Amino acid sequence: MEYKDLMQRYWMAETSTPEEQELHKQLLQTDSPTAEERAARAMMAYSASPKRNININLHQPKPKLWQIAVATALCSFVIFGIVKFFQPTVYGYYNGEPITTLAEAQYHADRIFANLAQAELPTEEELLNKLFMLE
């Protein structure tokens, strides 16, 4: 029972150096180690190996103001491009509704010019009289 308790305390990082040495001796005497015992052996072998100059930084440095500004500008540019790309071209409005296809715009333009051709327009003299004589 002491061996299992020692193993649990090792995984909780609550053992002293002599206790770890004792556990290491017991682990080496085990003929068919379990997965937990193999992992403990590996951890002990790694801790016994000469230290390497490996710099492990678990904390990221805070982003600088220019990095935040660049990221914001890039995101704004991408969003503007997406909105502009997917926004349809409006050629005009008919009864308050946008005309978004060229064929529909051409149809309405032809109707307007046909109506103008059929309308009775005043002559030039009548138009000048109405504009300048205020009758």
Q: In the structure encoding, which two tokens stand for residue 78, read together?
A: 């991408």
pLDDT tens, position by position, 7-27? 888 888 888 888 888 888 888
The share of the chain scoring above pLDDT 70, in percent, equals 95
pLDDT at 135 over 70: no
Check the CA dihedral 42-43-44-49 and report its sign: positive
3-state SS, residue 61: coil
Report residue 41 CA to chain centroid gap: 42
pLDDT tens, position by position, 53-98? 777 677 777 888 999 999 999 999 999 988 888 888 888 888 888 8
pLDDT at 134 over 70: no
DSSP string over 8-43: HHHHTT---HHHHHHHHHHHHH-SS--HHHHHHHHH
pTM beyond 0.75: no
Separation CA 130–CA 124 (nearest Å): 10
What is the residue extent of each domain of the chain?
Answer: 2-48, 92-132
Give CA angle at 50 (46, 53), nearest 5°: 100
